[in-house]
Amino acid sequence: MAQQKTCTVIGGCGFLGQHLVEGLVNKGYSVKVFDQKQTFDNKDVEFFLGDLCKREELLPALAGSQTVFHCATPSPLSDNREIFQKVNCMGTKVVLDCCKEAGVKKLILTSSASVIFEGTDLQNGREELGYADNPIDPYVESKIKQEEEILEANNPSEDFCTIALRPHGIFGPRDPHFIPTLVNMAKRGGTLFKIGKGTNKVDFTYVENVVHGHILAAEKLKPKSRVTGRAYNITNAEPVPF
């Protein structure tokens, strides 16, 4: 039982990662964090610094972990296709190789609801929808490839189970992305454009709910479980007017 509660959070110093680490520690997990930078301290957590694209740097962080959460990404705001390909696509192959070598049993990917977004309105979108044929940007293109790679690696007969969770926007305490971007824009005197009648909706999920989804996924992920090898859209409840 004790070994089942050992895990590594790749990208554990990011916005979601840090909340996930706290949620896991509170649930009694023994947690290792792998990230390219350390942004917080926690005496209950073991930190490993490195680049996930480098096998020799990642592998030690997975030793002894039964479960791995992969929530690292380059900034979606970057316009650099090359970096998305390198980290989200090639890097994911390294993550999978290292998981197999370290004997990891469960891999939970933080994907994105954007993988099914074609640029037109989507309400109550379900998992049956296929990937976008025309991803909206290079970040989403790389998230599609990443999700496909991770779900294809699902192999319950070898006791290696994978799952992908797809939140859309994430909000909550210590958000370094969405709200600060709006505030900075406002401070610089930037303008907000209203498209349409102001009734457009966008989906945001509270960060603690995203964490809850990840921990539930990890706990349900087993070779005979129906969730193994699947992707799930996750959200709070109703989308909010935007």
Catalytic (active-site) positions: 139
Beta bridge partners of 33: 9, 47
Binding mask 180-219 for ligand NAD (x = CB under 6 A): ----------------------------------------
Q: Among residues 137, 132, 70, 125, which one has the least CA distance to residue 98? A: 70
Nearest to ligand NAD of 15, 117 (CB atom):
15
Q: Which of 7, 8, 9, 16 is close enough to bind ligand NAD by CB under 6 A?
A: 16
Nearest to ligand NAD of 17, 23 (CB atom):
17
Nearest to ligand NAD of 25, 53 (CB atom):
53
- Part in contact with ligand NAD (CB under 6 A); list of ranges 22-30, 123-131, 169-177, 230-238: 169-177
Q: Quick check: 87 binds ligand NAD (CB under 6 A)? A: yes
Contact 73, 137 (CB under 8 A): no
Contact 33, 8 (CB under 8 A): yes
Q: Quick check: 15 binds ligand NAD (CB under 6 A)? A: yes
Count the neighbouring beta carbons within 10 Å of the beta carbon of residue 229: 18
34-53 in b/e form (b: 16+ CB < 10 A) is bbeeeeeeeeebebbebbbb
Contact 211, 60 (CB under 8 A): no
Closest contact distance (angstroms) between CB of 17 and ligand NAD is 5
End-to-end Cα spacing for the chain: 45
Minimal CB distance residue for ligand NAD: 14
Question: Which residues, numbered 25-84, are part of the site for ligand NAD (CB under 6 A)?
Answer: 35-37, 51-53, 71-75
Contact 231, 151 (CB under 8 A): yes
Q: Which of 170, 217, 218, 221 is close enough to bind ligand NAD by CB under 6 A?
A: 170
- Part in contact with ligand NAD (CB under 6 A); list of ranges 11-19, 120-128, 186-194, 224-232: 11-19
User: Cα separation of 76 and 57, whole Å?
Assistant: 24
Binding site for ligand NAD (CB under 6 A): 11, 13-17, 35-37, 51-53, 71-75, 87, 91, 110, 112, 167-170, 177
